[in-house]
Amino acid sequence: MAQQTLTRGTARRRTRLPRRLALLMRPELPSLAQEIIDEVRRSIPEYGRPLKGPYVEALRIGVERALKDFVDRVANPLEPSERHHETYRRLGRFEAQEGRTLDTLQAALRIGAQVAWRRIMKVGPRRRVSPEVMAQLADALFAYIDELAALALEGYMAARPDGEVEAHRRRLLELLLRRDGSPRLLAEAAERAGWTIPDEATAVVAPPGARYVRAALDEDVLADLTATQPFLVVPGKPTPERRRSLHRVLPDGQIVIGLTVPVAGVGDSLRWARCALGLVETGVLGDAPETDCEEHLITLWLLSDQALIDQLAHRHLGEMDGFSPRQRDRLLETLRAWLVTRGTANDIARELGIHPQTVRYRMRQVEGVLGDRLTDREARFAIEAVLRAMRLRERAAGPPEPPAAGAGRDDAAARKQAPIDKHPIPDRHDMSS
């Protein structure tokens, strides 16, 4: 049977959060702990036993200490966090000594994270926590759950006869995902783990909480199946046979395959695969059982930093906010078609299903606002990138609302301002003139 490996939790840098969040969260802890315990006991038969049983007592201690430790970290990010680590290692040892797998404990951690996040989504907006801070809090919460899973795995593997080999494989995966690991350390860790370092490797990820079959894992694949987002590192480029094997490990479908890269860059492959998984979950990419990053490179690039795209949009298109939302959408749609096709007004009109005079009218409006930016190559490139990214985002938002009454008003305005005759005067936006 293939080996299980350490999650990235302990190596992941902690997210710095506003310390005031700790004040908002502490009053919620007692009721949240009870809600998590109730949900775990309802969902997992092993924890549904009598209230005084060892499972339930371990659950209670683990939940209460985990919540307190997490809030303490928010209150003081510099405070040492090792004091509760032994609790979670002990939970892992308990599972091994009872002759069970870690599946039950991992399921409990996933449920705890889900219940905690539901509470955050309920309380955060009510207490005016910004969307940006909510996103940071989500990252910190799931990274913390990964860390708890890693500690439980340490205790579990230490209590098993083959724990030493597993520890070496966990260390190897840590080094592979770090950029500061030396080739010598990597080679030594690979030798101890019995893993041949390939020239190239590919990261593969699955959705949070995905069910997995550890016994189906190939010996040469490194994996952290206990992470919030389970992931694997596959030697070389996944062949059709390997892909079938991956679906046996993660039988519920939906895996995302990263780019095949030199083994030193496997952390990048994992980052891109996680980015693609996020785009699958938001509807930007299709909801297929298998998504290959190689087929979506431009989309990944354009949406890899959406906050930066927003900044570019503000700097290059901020003046367009002076129009009504519907006017702005039409003008930007026409501008995007002009930038992408570099065609004539007739070409753009055919693509958009409008009259050529409407194209000219809209482009004169755009030019009046953006001015020389339309003749500056750098600015044009930035604007085109922003508009392409905005269009990709719209896929996730679904179809636009039907036009309101008077939606064709700019067509009428175009005809009134520039009556159509047999020989319309060409302008700079008609690329054939």
Residue 56 has pLDDT above 80, yes or no: no
In this prediction, what percent of the chain has a pLDDT beyond 70? Answer: 81
Mean pLDDT of the chain: 80
Question: Binning pLDDT at 50, 70 and 90, where does residue 12 land?
Answer: very low
Helix (H), strand (E) at residue 200: strand 200-205
Residue 411 has pLDDT above 60, yes or no: no
Flag the least confident range among 163-177, 183-197, 246-260.
163-177
Pick the residue with more confidence: 409 or 245?
245
Contact 21, 238 (CB under 8 A): no
Task: State both tokens at 366.
Answer: 């755009």
Contact 172, 195 (CB under 8 A): yes
Residue 423 confidence (pLDDT): 30
Residue 160 has pLDDT above 80, yes or no: no
Give the 3-state secondary structure percentages of the chain, helix then strand then coil, rounded to 5.
65, 5, 30
Flag the least confident range among 54-63, 176-185, 263-272, 406-415.
406-415
Beta bridge partners of 290: 255
Question: Binning pLDDT at 50, 70 and 90, where does residue 270 land?
Answer: very high
Flag the least confident range among 40-44, 233-237, 274-278.
40-44
Residue 397 confidence (pLDDT): 56
Chain-centre distance of CA 337, in angstroms? 30
Contact 89, 154 (CB under 8 A): yes
Residue 16 confidence (pLDDT): 72
Beta bridge partners of 292: 257
Task: State both tokens at 248.
Answer: 């046996």
Chain-centre distance of CA 210, in angstroms? 15
User: CA-to-CA distance for 380 and 366, rounded, in angstroms?
Assistant: 13
Residue 13 confidence (pLDDT): 43
- Could you tell me the strand order of the sheet in which 231-235 lies? 222-224, 231-235, 200-205, 255-262, 290-292
The verdict on pTM exceeding 0.85 is no
Residue 280 has pLDDT above 80, yes or no: yes
Residue 201 has pLDDT above 90, yes or no: yes
Q: Over the stretch 354-365, which tens digit does the pLDDT of each residue have?
A: 898 888 988 888
For 368, counting Cβ atoms within 10 Å of its Cβ (0-12 exposed, 13-18 middle, 19+ buried), the class is: exposed
Residue 80 confidence (pLDDT): 66
Q: Over the stretch 72-87, which tens digit does the pLDDT of each residue have?
A: 888 887 776 666 778 8
Residue 45 DSSP label: G
Which residues of 345-425 form beta strands (DSSP E)?
A: none
Q: Over the stretch 123-159, which tens digit does the pLDDT of each residue have?
A: 888 888 888 888 888 888 888 888 888 888 888 777 7
Residue 62 has pLDDT above 80, yes or no: yes
